[in-house]
């Protein structure tokens, strides 16, 4: 009979440091409130080994267990603030919006669907003027390049430059 192995999330070193910081913050909050592991265990129903894993920021502990501990500490609402301010998402959305509406034009939803003759409105071409990229297109391109470079930079920070593999060293120092 085969035993079923638990699935475990792959957590990279940079992400593990974030979890360790969360565990340390929880430990400090407990100390500030003079709440012991025994008290937390009684109030949450979690075992002391699980609480120790939470304080170490172990990725094997479910987020629900972290939430239970935060709730006992009066910090559960803080979890709702995670990803609340999505600066990168707003930038990507703004880029998409800028692509659909160029300066001097109205969004398709604001345009009339037809003219008085029942034919769709089509703008007449302008006299032959030199065609150049509008300033907003250049701005969009620069934003896209910035987003790509930041994504590449984030990818490189999680990689060992010598072998292209994620850096799994436990030296505690950043490269």
Whether residue 47 is contained in a domain is answered as yes
Burial class (CB in 10 A: 0-12, 13-18, 19+), 55: buried
Q: Structural domain tally of the chain?
A: 2
Question: 67-106, pLDDT tens digit by residue?
Answer: 999 999 999 999 999 989 899 999 999 999 998 866 665 6
Give the list of residues 6+ apart from residue 22 with CB closer than 8 angstroms, or none.
57, 66
- Same-domain check for residues 42 and 93: no
Taking the C-alpha atoms of residue 162 and residue 88, their distance in angstroms, rounded to an integer, is 29
- Same-domain check for residues 20 and 72: yes
Check residue 171 and give its pLDDT: 45
CB 129 within 8 A of CB 123: no
Check residue 107 and give its pLDDT: 55
Query: Nearest-CA neighbor of 26 among 53, 48, 47, 8?
Result: 53
Check residue 32 and give its pLDDT: 97
Check residue 151 and give its pLDDT: 73
- Same-domain check for residues 96 and 142: yes
Check residue 116 and give its pLDDT: 47
Whether residue 50 is contained in a domain is answered as yes
Taking the C-alpha atoms of residue 136 and residue 100, their distance in angstroms, rounded to an integer, is 11
- Same-domain check for residues 61 and 19: yes
Whether residue 109 is contained in a domain is answered as no
Taking the C-alpha atoms of residue 155 and residue 56, their distance in angstroms, rounded to an integer, is 26
Whether residue 172 is contained in a domain is answered as no
Q: What domain range includes position 90?
A: 85-104+135-159
- Same-domain check for residues 64 and 44: yes
| Residues of the chain where predicted confidence (pLDDT) is lower than 50 | 114-119, 124-125, 127-131, 160-175
Whether residue 92 is contained in a domain is answered as yes
Check residue 42 and give its pLDDT: 98
In terms of pTM, does the model score above 0.85? no
What is the DSSP secondary structure assignment for residue 128, as one 8-state letter? -
């Amino acid at each position: 009979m085969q035993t079923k192995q638990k699935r475990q999330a792959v957590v990279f070193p940079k992400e593990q440091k974030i979890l360790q910081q969360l565990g340390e913050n929880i430990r400090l909050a407990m100390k500030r409130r003079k709440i012991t592991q025994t008290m937390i265990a009684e109030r949450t129903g979690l075992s002391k080994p699980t609480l120790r894993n939470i304080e170490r920021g172990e990725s094997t502990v479910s987020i629900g267990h972290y939430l239970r501990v935060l709730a006992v500490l009066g910090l559960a609402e803080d979890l709702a603030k995670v990803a609340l301010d999505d600066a990168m998402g707003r930038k990507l959305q703004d880029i998409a919006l800028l692509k659909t509406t160029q300066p001097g034009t109205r969004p398709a939803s604001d345009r009339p669907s037809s003219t008085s003759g029942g034919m769709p409105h089509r703008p007449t071409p302008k006299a032959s003027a030199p065609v150049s990229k509008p300033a907003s297109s250049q701005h969009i391109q620069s934003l896209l390049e910035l987003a790509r470079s930041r994504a590449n930079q984030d990818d490189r920070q999680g990689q060992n430059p010598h072998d292209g593999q994620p850096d799994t060293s436990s030296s505690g120092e950043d490269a």
